[in-house]
Amino acid sequence: MNTRTIGIILIILGVIMMIYTGFNYITTEKVVDIGPLHVSHEENHPVQWSPVVGAILLGGGIVIIAFNKKSGTQ
């Protein structure tokens, strides 16, 4: 994988992380299971990150592509 591809991937990830600052996932845990009686509990797990992380990845991708063009390699 060349450096231009890595730079493009970092730019795309940076933009996505700046737009979407997190996501949630839900787990289901069985609390009671007695014969025909089933009780379960759903728990929400948020995963959050700062948009600054996305900006850093975006900047890093731009720098990688800029240095790749200056050196003349592809």
Q: Which of 12, 15, 21, 9 is nearest to 51 (CA)?
A: 21
Q: What pLDDT is stored for residue 28 in this prediction?
A: 94
Half-sphere exposure (CA, 13 Å, Cβ side) for 5?
Answer: 2
Q: What is the pLDDT of residues 17-68, one digit of tens each?
A: 999 989 999 999 998 888 888 899 999 999 999 999 999 999 999 999 998 8
pLDDT confidence bin for 1, thresholds 50/70/90: confident
